[in-house]
Amino acid sequence: MSELWVEKYQPRKLREIVGQSKAIQDITSWAEGWKKGKPTKPAILLYGAAGTGKSVAAAALAHEFGWDLIEMNASDKRTLSEIKRVAGAAASAGTLFAGAGGRRLIVLDEADTIHGTADRGGYRALKELLEETRNPLVLIANDQYAIPWDLRMVCVLVNFRRLTVDIAIKELQRICRAEGITAEPLALKVIAETAKGDLRSAINDLQTFTLGKKRLTVKDLVLYRRDREVNVFDFLKQLLSVSSAKDARTLLWALDLPPNDALAWIDENIPRMVTDPTDLANVYDAISRADIFLGRARRGQAYGLWGYASDLMSAGVATSRGEHLKWSKFRPPSHIRRFARTRANRAVRDAVARKVAKRCHTSARVARKDILPCLGVVFKHDKKTAAAITSQLEFTDAESSFLKAMG
Ligand SMILES: Nc1ncnc2c1ncn2[C@@H]1O[C@H](COP(=O)(O)OP(=O)(O)OP(=O)(O)O)[C@@H](O)[C@H]1O
Ligand SMILES: [Mg+2]
C-alpha cells in the first residue's frame, strides 16, 4: 500500500472537517479569544469517539491561526515527566520563536492515558502549566470523564460526535471520485454503517477493499460485516499459536461464524503463513477435507458431518500447520471462493514437480510441464514401473494418486 488515504485525504483546514460544525465553531471562538489575551479557560478538551476528527482539528487549528504546533503524546512515559519542562518552556517563551500568529499551540493527544501511567504528577504538572501558560493548549481524549474534574473545569469542553452514515458515505464518495473508483452505492453504505461513526476506519476499509481494483461491489463485502462482530482476526491469530487440538476446537466454537465462512477465512490466510512444504500439504489436506464434509453436510447427508468439518478446520489445521510460520497480514477471503481442493491439488502437483526436478536436474517448471504428463501416463498404465518410481522418489500416497489421475 503506497499511501494511506486517511493521510492523503486528511483535512488541512478546519472547514474541511465534516460533520462537526458545532465543535469547529466552539474551537474557533475559543481560539479567537486567545487573540485578545489569555482567556479564563486557557485549554480546550476535544473528546469523543475514535476517527471523528479530533487530532486533525487540532492540527488544522494551528495551521489556520498561524500558530506553531507542539504535539505531545500523553501515553509516552518520557513525555509525562517532561510535560512541565517542554510545554512549560514553550508556554512561557516569548514571541521570539513563536509562529507568525505569535503563539504556540500545545497539543496533548491521548490525554486520558496520563492517568495510570504516572503518579498523577502528570496532571498536577498540567494544572500548574495552565496557570502559568501564555499559550493555548489542546487536550485530546476519547472519554472526557477520564480527565480529573478539576482539570476539566479549566477547559472548554468540545464533543466530537460519531459521524452519521450519510456524512461518511459522502466522504467515501469523494475519495472514490478522486481515486477513479466506481462503487456500488450499497457497498459504500455497508462500509459506512460498519464503521459506526469512525471515519478513519471507514476510509481504511474502503482502501483495503479496493486494493488493486477500480470497482467495488457489495459482493466484495459479503463476509465483512460478520467479521467485525466476531473478530475473526483474533481467531486466526490464535489458531496459529494454539498447541492442542482441544484448544483449537474451543476457539472455533467461540467464533460465532457459519462454518463455511470460517473455512473461507482459514483457507485464505493460514496456508500463506505455513512455510514447510509438508506442513503446507497437510494443512491443505485438512482444509480440503473440511470443505468436502461441509459440502456433504449442506446436502443434508448427516448432521454429524458439521462436527467433522469443524474438527478438521480447527484442530486439523492447528496441528498440521507446523512451527515455522511466516507472518503476514490477515485478509478477508475473496468473494469468489477459490476452492481449497483445487489449491490442495496444486500443492501436491508442485511437490511432485519438485521431487522430479531434483532427480532429473531440471527446474520444477520444466518438470511440471514436460515430465509430469509422461509420468501420468506411466502411472495410469504401468503399475510396476509406477511402484518403482514411487519408491525411488519417495512419493506419498497423495502424490502417486495425483499422478495416476493425471494420466
Ligand atoms: N470529521 C472528519 N472530517 C474529515 N475527515 C475525518 C474526520 N474525522 C476523521 N477523518 C479522517 O480520519 C482520519 C483520522 O482522524 P483523526 O486522527 O482526527 O481522528 P481522532 O478523532 O483523533 O481519532 P482518535 O481518537 O483515534 O485519535 C483523518 O486523517 C481523516 O482522514
Ligand atoms: Mg487522534
pLDDT tens digits for range 178-232: 999 999 998 898 889 888 899 998 998 898 888 788 999 877 776 555 444 447 8
Ligand 2 midpoint to CA 51 (Å): 7
Ligand 1 midpoint to CA 52 (Å): 5
Out of 176, 199, 221, a domain closes at 221
Same domain, 10 and 89: yes
Measuring CA to CA, how many Å separate 224 from each of 33, 146, 169, 249? 46, 33, 17, 23
Same domain, 15 and 144: yes
Same domain, 316 and 289: yes
* pLDDT interval class at 239 (50, 70, 90): confident
Out of 305, 338, 371, a domain closes at 338
Give, for 203, the enclosing helix (H) or strand (E).
helix 199-209
Measuring CA to CA, how many Å separate 291 from each of 20, 177, 224, 248? 48, 40, 21, 17
Same domain, 138 and 23: yes
Q: Among 27-36, 68-77, 385-394, whose mean pLDDT is lowest? A: 68-77
Whether the per-residue pLDDT at 22 is higher than 60: the answer is: yes
**Secondary structure of the chain: what % helix, strand, coil (to 5)?**
65, 10, 30
Pairing of strands 68-73, 104-109: parallel
Ligand 1 midpoint to CA 56 (Å): 6
pLDDT value at residue 163: 97
pLDDT value at residue 3: 79
Same domain, 12 and 152: yes
- The pTM assigned to this predicted structure is 0.59
Calpha distance 1→12 (Å, rounded): 22
Question: Once rounded to an integer, what is the mean pLDDT over residues 47-72?
Answer: 93
* pLDDT interval class at 54 (50, 70, 90): very high
283 within 8 A of 317, measured Cβ to Cβ = yes
Question: In this structure, which amino acid lies at residue 75?
Answer: S
66 within 8 A of 212, measured Cβ to Cβ = no
pLDDT tens digits for range 80-102: 556 666 555 554 445 444 444 56
CATH code, 72: 3.40.50.300
Copy the grid coordinates of residue 306.
Answer: 458439521
Whether the per-residue pLDDT at 115 is higher than 80: the answer is: no
Q: Among 47-56, 85-94, 115-124, 396-405, whose mean pLDDT is lowest? A: 85-94
pLDDT value at residue 4: 85
Whether the per-residue pLDDT at 114 is higher than 80: the answer is: no
Instruction: Provide the domain limits for residue 317.
Output: 229-338
* pLDDT interval class at 303 (50, 70, 90): low
Same domain, 352 and 331: no
Whether the per-residue pLDDT at 276 is higher than 80: the answer is: yes
Buried b (16+ CB within 10 A) or exposed e, 215-239: ebebebbebbebbeebebbebbebb
Question: Once rounded to an integer, what is the mean pLDDT over residues 165-188?
Answer: 95
Give the list of residues 6+ apart from residue 164 with CB closer than 8 angstroms, or none. Answer: 19, 197
Which residue has better confidence, 4 or 220?
A: 4
pLDDT value at residue 125: 73
Alpha helices, DSSP H, located in 321-394 = 340-360, 364-366, 372-381, 383-393
Whether the per-residue pLDDT at 69 is higher than 80: the answer is: yes
Which residue has better confidence, 333 or 230?
A: 333
- State the total domains in the chain: 4
Same domain, 170 and 237: no
Out of 221, 239, 260, a domain closes at 221
pLDDT value at residue 197: 93
Q: Among 131-145, 218-232, 284-298, 390-404, whose mean pLDDT is lowest? A: 218-232
Same domain, 315 and 385: no
Same domain, 257 and 272: yes
Copy the grid coordinates of residue 268.
Answer: 485464505
* 239 closest CA partner among 278, 205, 287: 287
Same domain, 349 and 334: no
Whether the per-residue pLDDT at 132 is higher than 60: the answer is: yes
Q: Which ligand is nearest to the CA of 52?
A: 1
Average pLDDT of every residue of the chain: 83
HEC per residue, 150-184? HHHCCEEEEEECCCCHHHHHHHHHHHHHHHCCEEC
Which of 103-117, 194-208, 231-245 ranks highest by mean pLDDT?
Answer: 194-208
Q: Is 96 left (phi over 0), alpha (psi -120 to 50) or beta?
A: alpha
What's the angle, vertex CA 136, arms to CA 131 and CA 137, rounded to 5?
80
CATH code, 179: 1.10.8
Q: Which ligand is nearest to the CA of 168?
A: 1
pLDDT tens digits for range 359-375: 888 888 888 888 888 88
Ligand 1 atom closest to residue 142's alpha carbon, by position in its atom list:
25
Overall size of the chain counted in residues: 407
106 within 8 A of 135, measured Cβ to Cβ = yes
Same domain, 391 and 304: no
Top mutation candidate among 191, 199, 204 for ligand 1, by most atoms within 8 Å of CB: 199
* pLDDT interval class at 32 (50, 70, 90): very high
Copy the grid coordinates of residue 405.
Answer: 489421475
Ligand 1 atom closest to residue 56's alpha carbon, by position in its atom list:
18
Ligand 1 pocket, residues with Cβ under 6 angstroms: 6, 9-11, 17-20, 50-56, 142, 160, 199-200, 203
Measuring CA to CA, how many Å separate 157 from each of 12, 24, 125, 149, 262? 22, 12, 20, 12, 44
Same domain, 141 and 190: no
